[in-house]
Amino acid sequence: MSRGDIKKHFAPIQREAARRTEEKKTDGIPTIYIVMSTCGLASGAAETKQAFEEALSHKSIEARIVPVGCLGHCYAEPLVVIDHPTSGLPPICYHQVSAARAQVLVRSYLEKGDPVFKYVLGATEENDLIPALMDFPRFNLEQRLVMEQCGRINPDDIYQYVAEGGYGGLVKALGSAPEEVIAEIETSGLRGRGGAGFPAGRKWRLARAAGPDEKIVICNADEGDPGAYMDRTILESNPHQLLEGLAICAYAIGANQAHVYVRAEYPLAVKTIQQAIKSGEQLSLLGSSILGTSFNLEVIVFQGSGAFVCGEETALIHSIEGKRGMPQHRPPYPVEKGLWGRPTVVNNVKTLSCLPSIINRGAEWFRSIGTEESPGTAIFSVVGNVNHPGLVEIAMGTSLRTLIFDVCGGIPKKKSFKAVQIGGPSGGCLPESFLDTPIDFDSLTEAGAMMGSGGMVVMDENSCMVDVSRYFLDFTQKESCGKCTFCRIGTRHLLNILDRITKGEGREKDLGLLETLSEDIKSGSLCGLGKTAPNPVLTSLKYFLDEYEAHVREKRCPALKCRALTAFYIDLEKCARGCDVCVGCCPVEAIFTTTGRKKAVDQELCVKCGECMVVCPPEYDAVEKVSPPELAPIIERSPEKK
Amino acid sequence: MTTPELDGEERAMVEEITAMLPQFEKSRGTLIPILQSIQEKHAYLSGAAMEMVAEHLSISPSEVYGVATFYNQFRFHPPGKHQFKVCLGTACHVAGGDIILENFERKLGIKDGDTTPDREYSIERVACVGCCALAPVAVIDDTVEGHIQPSRVEGIFVQFQVEREREEREKAERESGE
């Protein structure tokens, strides 16, 4: 079928999309975009939407409410963009729009034309009246390629995606030979975004060459890393871009079946992608004889049941086959013998979502972004101790310093930067001296961390590196599938050692043992989970050895984090007479009144939750935390007060 | 071994599962989807339910149990009326999620994964709910609550207590009105 015929099939869909967009532009009715992805909803977006609806009907104002996906600015949720065409103002983005603010916005802006400047985050386009979002570092240092439309279109409306050029890549791909598509992806240098960075084009070529069997594509959306949520955001905010990529990949390798493996813990993502598949099939952009060609693609959603190891491709395939998700020895690689024994390409959500724009704008354009070896962008979920946490998409090669301090606003409360943990349980902790490391697959691996899933946790001076390593080991130890002895038992022992160090029971030889055991686990494990599980321990040992030594030798936690090694006490000089806040908030009644109506902590009862420190009024600031616990002055509680 | 007497609740569950199973193809690939839909409906997988699934797919019950226990999603005890899921993802851990979990545990006198004997409350720890920017996070029934403080735990129980008392009062009023 010729390129012209495919375009002819696509033209009516494009016209309908253009008509709908035009209608919205010209009818003069204001549009309210509300971010309604999981993080928006957690911050109360549903209540905000309801408040808008009630206020609008109460005032009899006509306005369109459009639920959109995530913009990535989690610190400012719930976000709302109001496009009020007759006001003479550009579309305005508002932050932290609670139900009460929603009512104010309807009353002041939509009814009276006053845009309520104190709630404004910025305008979405350049103008003379309101500072534009593009002028803020958070916006202009980012380079959005995968997340370009996230938060700007309604994920449930396929026409909005088409109006932004959506499915154009698929049309173009279908008009070329599959080999040409593969060649284009190879030239683009796209590397798998799942973490390991294997060249996507090469994987496809291997699959295409793997015999006459029908091939299968699997989209890996089993985002198990605690601390990364970009795959979920893409599924919730722009599912069609992913489906378009999936169709391009399927066409290129010769597959007629695609599976989207998404975590069952992401109910909204599951619902959104299922709805998107349905609307794609209705317009014959998916399903049978796509755009009038002989290319068919059945897309099936499989809900993963929560096993971190299923992010590994062979384990994921076992899981779809209804077995325990355990990895197997490779070769044979899935590209030769994968799901149900057929050649299978497993690609990450971000990899597939890159495809439409590469096909549309060409491999050269893609190569012009990022670095020579790692072209394109990287998406990170930057969380922890930063001022502006959220999802950030930056060009590969950007330095960690730019990302943390410029894009995400640095460390809050004037505390100092201590470390950044990249790549989740498989990655490592990098200290300040690595802040100028460029972010790309190879540089990060060299530094001892890894790109991984893109989880990035920034830690300030109050984070204990030993505790963080213990945390990750606790996670990987639970998630080890148990196939390889080194991973199953080795991680258990690592965890035991770290446990005793954080409890102040560490022994001198533990530090050496941690290191040798880590190396053994790395070489004795089959899959990525075991091979990378000791990374957090190894990097923190390398860069923060002094903290381990303080725990082992002095039984002291320098960051005042490990609870067995810290104690709270109340400074009697500072404590106010008669203020009872700490007594009321203590969950275990460990705080009692001592001489002169001042308060003291019963160390035997204290569970070290730190609540008294939080509630103590700043003008007294009397609660102190110390390590080792012996430093806390002991005030005896008289028996009758117990 | 004699089959223990099923109580009303279990009998209803067995009936519903019997009615549901024929929708699923008898192939191994449907095992996880079947278990998921049983759990969605009944909130947990009972021994009897897993045996029925094994029979439907002509595999051994131990195989079904093996798969079910491999994945974190599946539960083998009935959860409480109110479920607390405390997130212990990386960001929540750094922000003190373990303290929140401990507060729930202390308050209810049960450990994570357990249900109170009156089946009113259950606590679970979850790896990550993906709201890291709001850490620490807990999911109370179906609502995600961000920036949760240890004292908020107390508040949640007071809220449920007030709600329960109101329900009881209303029920009593209705009954006396009739």
Look up residue A243 and give its amino acid: L
The neighbouring-strand residues paired with A567 are A626
CATH T-level topology, domain A566-641: Alpha-Beta Plaits (3.30.70)
| Extents of the domains making up chain A | 20-136, 166-367, 377-460, 465-553, 566-641
Give the side-chain half-sphere CA count within 13 A for A567.
20
The pair phi, psi for residue A405, each rounded to 5°, is -90, -35
Beta-carbon contacts below 8 Å between A and B: 142
Q: What is the pLDDT of residue A502?
A: 95
Query: Under an 8 A CB cutoff, do A322 and B31 touch?
Result: yes
Domain A465-553 in the same topology as domain A377-460: no
Query: Under an 8 A CB cutoff, do A42 and B146 touch?
Result: yes
The closest CB to that of A322, out of B30, B128, B154, belongs to: B30
Query: Under an 8 A CB cutoff, do B89 and A227 touch?
Result: yes
What does pTM read for this prediction? 0.91
Query: Under an 8 A CB cutoff, do A43 and B134 touch?
Result: yes
**CATH code linked to domain A20-136:** 3.40.30.10
Tell me the mean pLDDT in the region B19-26. 93
Look up residue A488 and give its amino acid: R
What is the per-residue pLDDT across A601-618, written as a single tens digit (0 to 9) for each? 999 999 998 889 989 999
Q: How far apart are the C-alpha atoms of A37 and A232, rounded to whole Å?
A: 9
Judged by average pLDDT, the poorest of A8-12, A424-428, A565-569, B44-48 is: A424-428
Residue A449: alpha-carbon gap to chain centroid? 17
Task: Please list every residue in chain A whose beta carbon sits closer than 8 Å to the beta carbon of residue B96.
Answer: 610
The answer on pLDDT for A142 being more than 60 is yes
The answer on pLDDT for A640 being more than 70 is no
Classify domain A377-460 by CATH architecture: Roll (3.10)
State the DSSP code for A107. Answer: I
Q: What is the pLDDT of residue A453?
A: 79
Q: Is A463 on the interface with B (CB under 8 A)?
A: yes
Q: What is the pLDDT of residue A641?
A: 58
**Pure H helices in A362-432:** 363-367, 400-401
Per the model's pLDDT, the better-predicted residue between A635 and A521 turns out to be A521
Task: Please list every residue in chain A whose beta carbon sits closer than 8 Å to the beta carbon of residue B102.
Answer: 607, 609
State the DSSP code for A260. Answer: E
The average confidence (pLDDT) of chain A is 92
What is the per-residue pLDDT across A98-124, written as a single tens digit (0 to 9) for each? 999 999 999 999 998 899 999 999 888
Q: What is the pLDDT of residue B51?
A: 95
What is the per-residue pLDDT across B89-123, written as a single tens digit (0 to 9) for each? 888 888 889 999 998 998 899 998 889 998 889 99
Domains of chain B with CATH codes: 8-70 (1.10.10.1590), 82-177 (3.40.30.10)
The answer on pLDDT for B8 being more than 60 is yes
Task: Please list every residue in chain A whose beta carbon sits closer than 8 Å to the beta carbon of residue B134.
Answer: 39, 42-43, 74
Q: Is A588 on the interface with B (CB under 8 A)?
A: yes
The answer on pLDDT for B127 being more than 90 is no
**CATH code linked to domain A465-553:** 1.20.1440.230
Per-residue burial over B137-163, b if 16 or more Cβ lie within 10 Å, else e, is bbbbeeebbbebbbbebbebeeebeee
Judged by average pLDDT, the poorest of A74-78, A152-156, A492-496 is: A74-78
Tell me the mean pLDDT in the region A138-144. 86
Q: What is the pLDDT of residue B5?
A: 55
Query: Under an 8 A CB cutoff, do B36 and A455 touch?
Result: no
Please report, rounded to a whole number, the percentage of residues in chain B having pLDDT higher than 70: 96
Closest CA to A430 of B109, A438, A376: A438
């989690």: which residue's tokens?
A74
Per-residue burial over A304-337, b if 16 or more Cβ lie within 10 Å, else e, is bbbbbbbbbbbbbbbbbbbbbbbbeeeeebbbbb
**CATH code linked to domain A166-367:** 3.40.50.11540
The answer on pLDDT for A158 being more than 90 is yes
Query: Under an 8 A CB cutoff, do A609 and B88 touch?
Result: no
Three-state secondary-structure class, residue A504:
coil
Closest CA to A91 of A57, A68, A72, A60: A68
How far does A391 lie from chain B, in Å, by closest CA? 9
Closest CA to B135 of A381, A391, A383: A383
Q: What is the pLDDT of residue A194?
A: 82
Q: How confident is the model at residue B1 (pLDDT cuts 50, 70, 90)?
A: very low
**Pure H helices in A302-413:** 313-320, 349-361, 363-367, 400-401
Q: What is the pLDDT of residue B113?
A: 87
What is the per-residue pLDDT across A369-384, written as a single tens digit (0 to 9) for each? 999 999 999 999 998 8
